[in-house]
């Protein structure tokens, strides 16, 4: 037992004292019986024990009573398979101070060999702050409105919130440690795993699978549509991924229903249009006969008719004429956006207006009206439709005038990427409550005796503007006049 014994086993105290003293954390060295062999000053400070009181004691004296038995088992397990590792992965560990108070700790264990003997060095850190922060993070996660799933670099679920339990029907303990693919339908799992690898290589905050339909899979195997946004989460173990999962079943159902409505509406619109077209087209011929023959009859009877017969003939002709107008209006309406000649081109509105004024020349003169216009732009549109639009608005402006001669002004200007045009009159005006309804088909504010018409004109204007991707509306003051505004796209 002299100092010169060649194979003298170096005592861990001697070898490691200086080393553990300089460690930032508390370090406790124990032998395979669990007896404390060495501690550093940080250990004294952390646990409130004097060094001398600890040496020779069982390590379990630093562990709360309720964990001691289990701790011994773990200790034995460590010594039977000694390797460096963090202690109690995924479990909250607690230390016991001399005064009986407990505090959260994080521990890593390393085996130390001294000759034949094996020791365990436990490096212990006070985790109060970290666990508080982690708790705060978890609380935050719980209050999130979406299901939150946190996945590590290997794609294993590390943390989920209550919303995930509710959405997917799993208890959270079951999910922790599972590949995140358990939450998606089987047929997309492989693809997902590949995408996941891709994400980990370039993690950013983004929507997942933009433009694609994503599905979640519940525990019972049923699937539901989801929206997912991903964000990277820096941790000590690398960049994890936070996925916010939202169940969009309700929205999708509403969307689907809306689309179905739109399809139905489109179909019934098409049917109606076809019906209107065929009906009006087929009505034209007999009507022409009616008008023509009543005219012939009038001529044949010449001046030999009594007053009443002449009046009846006039009614027939008037009725036929009105019906012709109505049918012509309906045909025009059903033609908007459908005619072969209706290609969108650059249309000079000055030319359109000149033609319209020429067509309305006799009405303008008969009413001693003035029509003034500022230079108009060239727009992107269908010339024949734009011509109808101006004609209807100007005809109305000439028709709904007060006692004095009608005055119509036309102008417009560029606003952003489109043109804003207007047709103004100083006529009878329109009550504010009727500003929208007048654009509906057959909605008229007057009888035929007051002002002739069919109630189709503004519906036609509205459809034409819509077909051009624009908007039409009216500003008016009863007794002072109306301004019809509309927007059209710039020529491309
Ligand atoms: P119509 O002119 O054949 O009656 P419209 O669809 O062109 O049908 O117009 C619908 C209704 O809107 C008209 O009956 C009229 O009451 C009102 N209206 C349209 N334009 C004007 C206007 N410039 N001034 C006053 N009222 C108008």
User: Distance, CA 458 to ligand 1 centroid (Å)?
Assistant: 7
Beta pairing class for 93-96 and 85-86: unpaired
The 10s digit of each residue's pLDDT in 75-129 is 999 999 998 888 876 678 999 999 999 999 999 999 988 778 899 999 999 999 9
Q: Are 131 and 103 in contact (CB under 8 A)?
A: no
Residue from 403, 394, 377, 408 nearest 487 by CA: 377
Band of residue 17 on the pLDDT scale cut at 50, 70, 90 = confident
For 429, the token pair is 């005006």
Decide if pLDDT at 153 tops 70. Answer: yes
User: Distance, CA 230 to ligand 1 centroid (Å)?
Assistant: 56
User: Distance, CA 477 to ligand 1 centroid (Å)?
Assistant: 14
How far apart, in whole angstroms, are the C-alpha atoms of residue 82 and residue 61? 22
Pocket around ligand 1 at a 6 A CB cut-off: 392, 396-397, 400, 425, 427-430, 438, 443-446, 453-459, 482
DSSP 8-state assignment for residue 61: G
Decide if pLDDT at 426 tops 50. Answer: yes
Helix or strand or coil: residue 149? Answer: strand
Considering only CA atoms, which residue is closest to atom 16 of ligand 1?
Answer: 445
User: Distance, CA 428 to ligand 1 centroid (Å)?
Assistant: 10
- Given ligand 1 and candidates 360, 456, 458, which is best to mutate, with the most ligand atoms within 8 Å of its CB? 458
Atom of ligand 1 nearest to the CA of 454: 3
User: Distance, CA 338 to ligand 1 centroid (Å)?
Assistant: 25
Put residue 56 in one of left, alpha, beta given phi > 0 → left and psi -120 to 50 → alpha.
Answer: left
Helix or strand or coil: residue 490? Answer: strand
The 10s digit of each residue's pLDDT in 195-223 is 887 777 777 777 776 778 899 999 999 99
Considering only CA atoms, which residue is closest to atom 21 of ligand 1?
Answer: 396
Band of residue 1 on the pLDDT scale cut at 50, 70, 90 = very low
Helix or strand or coil: residue 377? Answer: coil
User: Distance, CA 275 to ligand 1 centroid (Å)?
Assistant: 25
Whole-number pLDDT of residue 329: 86
* The dihedral formed by the CA atoms of 88, 89, 91 and 94, expressed in degrees to the nearest 10: 40
User: Distance, CA 459 to ligand 1 centroid (Å)?
Assistant: 10
Residue with token string 């109305």: 396
How far apart, in whole angstroms, are the C-alpha atoms of residue 14 and residue 428? 110
For 212, the token pair is 């694609």
How far apart, in whole angstroms, are the C-alpha atoms of residue 115 and residue 9? 6
Residue from 145, 216, 208, 232 nearest 182 by CA: 216
Decide if pLDDT at 281 tops 90. Answer: no
User: Quick one: angle between helices 383-399 and 457-467, nearest 10?
Assistant: 150
Low-confidence winner among 245-249, 304-308, 368-372 (lowest mean pLDDT): 304-308
Residue from 490, 276, 456 nearest 376 by CA: 490
Band of residue 41 on the pLDDT scale cut at 50, 70, 90 = very high
How far apart, in whole angstroms, are the C-alpha atoms of residue 11 and residue 17? 10
Q: Are 163 and 147 in contact (CB under 8 A)?
A: yes
Helices (DSSP H) in 60-127: which residue ranges?
A: 68-80
Mean pLDDT of the chain: 89
How far apart, in whole angstroms, are the C-alpha atoms of residue 487 and residue 473? 9
User: Distance, CA 435 to ligand 1 centroid (Å)?
Assistant: 10
DSSP 8-state assignment for residue 323: H
Helices (DSSP H) in 68-206: which residue ranges?
A: 68-80, 128-143, 162-168, 172-175, 186-201
CA distance readout (Å), 231 to 49, 151, 200: 45, 11, 10
The 10s digit of each residue's pLDDT in 449-461 is 899 898 999 999 9
* The dihedral formed by the CA atoms of 385, 389, 391 and 394, expressed in degrees to the nearest 10: -170
How far apart, in whole angstroms, are the C-alpha atoms of residue 304 and residue 463? 48
How far apart, in whole angstroms, are the C-alpha atoms of residue 228 and residue 221? 19
List all residues 6 or more positions away from 291 whose beta carbon is below 8 Å from its beta carbon. 317, 320, 321, 324
Q: Are 472 and 439 in contact (CB under 8 A)?
A: yes
User: Distance, CA 447 to ligand 1 centroid (Å)?
Assistant: 11
Considering only CA atoms, which residue is closest to atom 12 of ligand 1?
Answer: 438
List all residues 6 or more positions away from 55 whose beta carbon is below 8 Å from its beta carbon. 36, 37, 38, 39
Rg for the chain, CA atoms, rounded:
44
List all residues 6 or more positions away from 170 whose beta carbon is below 8 Å from its beta carbon. 164, 182, 219
How far apart, in whole angstroms, are the C-alpha atoms of residue 36 and residue 61? 10
For 484, the token pair is 């019809």
Considering only CA atoms, which residue is closest to atom 25 of ligand 1?
Answer: 429
What pTM was estimated for this model as a whole?
Answer: 0.53
Whole-number pLDDT of residue 343: 82
Q: What is the mean pLDDT of residues 20-28?
A: 91
Phi, psi of 133 (to 5 degrees): -60, -40
Band of residue 5 on the pLDDT scale cut at 50, 70, 90 = very low
Phi, psi of 444 (to 5 degrees): -130, 150
- Given ligand 1 and candidates 388, 390, 393, 400, which is best to mutate, with the most ligand atoms within 8 Å of its CB? 400
- Given ligand 1 and candidates 332, 396, 479, which is best to mutate, with the most ligand atoms within 8 Å of its CB? 396
């Amino acid at each position: 037992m002299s100092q010169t014994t060649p194979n003298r086993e170096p005592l861990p105290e001697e070898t490691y004292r200086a080393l553990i003293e300089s460690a930032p954390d508390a370090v406790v060295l124990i032998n395979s019986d669990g007896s404390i062999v060495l501690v550093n000053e940080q250990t004294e400070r952390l646990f409130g024990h004097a060094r001398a009181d600890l040496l020779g004691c069982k390590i379990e004296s630093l562990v709360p009573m309720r964990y001691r038995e289990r701790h011994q088992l773990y200790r034995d397990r460590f010594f039977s398979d000694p390797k460096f590792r963090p202690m109690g992965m995924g479990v909250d560990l607690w230390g016991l101070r001399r005064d009986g108070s407990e505090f959260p700790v994080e521990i890593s264990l390393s085996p130390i060999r001294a000759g034949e003997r094996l020791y365990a060095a436990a490096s212990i850190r006070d985790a109060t702050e970290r666990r508080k922060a982690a708790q705060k993070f978890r609380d935050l996660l719980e209050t999130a409105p979406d299901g939150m799933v946190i996945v590590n670099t290997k794609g294993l679920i590390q943390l989920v919130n209550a919303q995930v339990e509710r959405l997917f029907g799993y208890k959270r303990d079951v999910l922790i440690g599972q590949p995140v693919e358990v939450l998606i339908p089987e047929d997309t799992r492989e693809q997902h795993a590949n995408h996941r690898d891709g994400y980990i290589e370039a993690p950013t905050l983004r929507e997942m699978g933009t433009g694609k339909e994503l599905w979640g899979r519940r525990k019972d195997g049923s699937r539901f549509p989801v929206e997912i946004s991903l964000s990277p989460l820096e941790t000590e173990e690398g960049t994890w991924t936070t996925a916010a999962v939202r169940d969009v079943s309700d929205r999708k159902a509403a969307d689907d229903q809306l689309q179905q409505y739109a399809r139905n509406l489109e179909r019934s619109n098409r049917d109606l249009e076809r019906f209107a077209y065929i009906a009006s087209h087929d009505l034209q011929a007999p009507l022409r006969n009616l008008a023509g023959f009543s005219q012939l009859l009038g001529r044949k009877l010449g001046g030999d008719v009594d007053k009443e017969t002449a009046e009846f003939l006039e009614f027939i002709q008037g009725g036929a004429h009105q019906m012709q107008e109505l049918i012509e209006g309906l045909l025009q309406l059903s033609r908007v956006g459908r005619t072969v000649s209706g290609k969108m081109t650059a249309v000079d509105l000055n030319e359109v207006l000149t033609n319209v004024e020429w067509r309305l020349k006799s009405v303008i003169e008969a009413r001693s009206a003035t029509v003034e216009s500022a230079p108009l732009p060239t727009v992107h549109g269908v010339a024949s439709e734009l011509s109808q639009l101006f004609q209807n608005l100007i005809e109305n402006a000439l028709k709904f005038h007060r006692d004095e001669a009608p005055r119509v002004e036309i102008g417009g200007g560029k606003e952003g990427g489109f043109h804003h045009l207007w047709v103004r009159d100083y006529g009878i005006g329109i009550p504010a409550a009727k500003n929208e309804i007048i654009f509906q088909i057959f909605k008229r504010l007057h009888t035929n005796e007051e002002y002739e018409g069919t109630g189709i004109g503004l519906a036609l204007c509205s459809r034409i503007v819509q077909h051009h991707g624009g908007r039409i509306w009216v500003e008016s003051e009863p007794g002072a006049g109306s301004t019809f505004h509309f927007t059209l796209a710039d020529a491309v």
